[in-house]
Amino acid sequence: MSKNKISKNWLSERKRDFYFNQSKIQGYRSRAAYKLIEMNDKFKFIKKDTCLLDLGSCPGGWSQVAAKLITKGEILATDIKNMEKLNKVTFIRGDMNDKEFCEKIYKYFNKKVDVIISDMAANTTGNKDLDVYRTGELCLNSMDLSKKILKRDGVFLTKVFMGSVFEEVHEKAKKYFNKVIKYKPLASKSSSKEIYFFCKGLLNI
Ligand SMILES: C[S@@+](CC[C@H](N)C(=O)[O-])C[C@H]1O[C@@H](n2cnc3c(N)ncnc32)[C@H](O)[C@@H]1O
């Protein structure tokens, strides 16, 4: 298929996309916002006093959802790209593959946090297997950070792509957390290989 035809198809698919249209109406920066809304409705883990870390926050849909729910807590958002300012959200730019950046997050809080959400997806290279693997690596890194800075009864919610690294992420999640639930929100396109792990309660390891 020609490039022109692909982008025309993409545009007409976008116009028909319910969540994309809703995000424009409701002022969310991304359709991804509806994934977090649905997962929070199901698992009820974001409270008004939650201290939350949003990894891979750009353009900011998940942070917007968190900022609506959290009135007395704290929100730190991070991304390798810059994020436009959001009320009630502190943003730090950095790469989650960089150990020094993870240390910076750790020092920023200087206390344990209640919730870590990660919607990170490695920038695409054109090689789908490599992209899946690199997103899996980000997921493993954020799980290590969670082990360090999450409260014992805290929640870690992460995106992962089905593929080579999926089982490794799943195994590590089961090793680290008491409860691990796989969930595919309605707002996640059925054609997408993404799935989310809702993890709760750090195990003593
Ligand atoms: C699907 S988007 C997140 C959408 C966001 N949850 C929202 O609601 O707007 C994935 C994000 O992961 C970020 N990302 C990719 N690689 C990263 C890395 N190495 N470190 C930090 N963030 C990264 C991308 O820059 C991108 O903004």
Q: Which pLDDT tens digit goes with each residue over 12-43?
A: 666 678 999 999 999 999 999 999 999 999 99
Q: Is the pLDDT of residue 128 over 70?
A: yes
The predicted model gives 76-102 an average pLDDT of 97
The predicted model gives 161-177 an average pLDDT of 94
Any ligand 1 atom below 6 A from CB of 122: yes
Q: Which atom from ligand 1 is nearest to the alpha carbon of 95? A: 20
Q: Is the pLDDT of residue 169 over 90?
A: yes
- pTM score, whole prediction: 0.94
**Residues 110-120, buried b or exposed e (16+ Cβ, 10 A)?**
eeebbbbbbbb
Whole-number Å distance, alpha carbon 47 to ligand 1 midpoint, is 23
Amino acid 204: pLDDT: 84
Run of H or E including 14: helix 3-16
The predicted model gives 50-69 an average pLDDT of 98
Compute the distance between CA of residue 125 and CA of residue 128 in angstroms, rounded to an integer.
Answer: 7
Any ligand 1 atom below 6 A from CB of 54: no
Nearest residue (CA) to ligand 1, atom 27: 58
Whole-number Å distance, alpha carbon 77 to ligand 1 midpoint, is 10
Does the residue 148 lie in any domain?
yes
Determine how β-strand 150-161 pairs with β-strand 194-202: antiparallel
User: What is the extent of the structural domain holding 196?
Assistant: 29-202
CA 127 centroid distance within chain: 22
Q: Is the pLDDT of residue 180 over 90?
A: yes
Residue 98's domain is classified under what CATH number?
Answer: 3.40.50.150
Does the residue 69 lie in any domain?
yes
Amino acid 1: pLDDT: 61
Does the residue 79 lie in any domain?
yes
* Structural domain total, the chain: 1
Does the residue 4 lie in any domain?
no
Does the residue 18 lie in any domain?
no
Does the residue 16 lie in any domain?
no
Long-range contacts of 81-87 (CB under 8 A, 24+ apart): 82/58, 83/57, 83/58, 83/59, 84/29, 84/59, 84/60, 86/60
Q: Is the pLDDT of residue 65 over 90?
A: yes
- Measured from the Cβ of residue 98, the count of other Cβ atoms closer than 10 Å reads 12
Any ligand 1 atom below 6 A from CB of 125: no
Whole-number Å distance, alpha carbon 54 to ligand 1 midpoint, is 10
Amino acid 10: pLDDT: 63
Residue 199 · residue 175 · CB < 8 Å: no
Backbone angles phi, psi at 131, to 5 degrees: -65, -45
Does the residue 92 lie in any domain?
yes
Mean pLDDT, the chain, as a whole number? 94
Nearest residue (CA) to ligand 1, atom 16: 122
Whole-number Å distance, alpha carbon 101 to ligand 1 midpoint, is 15
Any ligand 1 atom below 6 A from CB of 53: no
Does the residue 179 lie in any domain?
yes
Residues with a known catalytic role = 159
Q: Which atom from ligand 1 is nearest to the alpha carbon of 65? A: 8
Residue 33 · residue 186 · CB < 8 Å: no
The predicted model gives 130-154 an average pLDDT of 95
Any ligand 1 atom below 6 A from CB of 19: no
Range list of β-strands (E), 45-145: 51-55, 74-79, 90-93, 113-118
